Amino acid sequence: MRKKRILVVDDERECCNFFREYLAERDCDLDVAYDGLNAKYLLECNLYDVIFFDCNMPELSGVELIKIIREKNPEAKAIMISGYDGIDEGFAKTINIKHFIQKPISLEAVKKAIEE
């Protein structure tokens, strides 16, 4: 079975470290970007199975990043993550994102997102 290739995009290093620690125990290849521009570069160079991305980031927001994900990696499972009030599953659906995880992120939510 092929390793899942995962991209995490979040300007909060603690959030990225959470994913890094959790996925270190799984058979996954992980890339991390701390802003939207770095994520854009990674998406131009790689294909991912799962992409977790924050909605509010410097340089390029998650909403702007969605367009790039759909263009460069349309088969990826895109999962919006956010801790801001007003950005929730309903908001994600209005911009055609099917998967949303509220911060603080739980191990169970990440596991479910990757395994589905």
CATH number of the domain residue 39 falls in: 3.40.50.2300
CB 78 within 8 A of CB 43: no
Number of domains, the chain: 1
| pLDDT for the residue 7 | 97
Q: Could you tell me the pTM of the whole model? A: 0.91
| pLDDT for the residue 1 | 67
Give the tens place of pLDDT for each residue, 64-100. 999 999 999 999 999 999 987 777 787 778 788 888 9
Q: Which domain holds residue 22?
A: 4-115
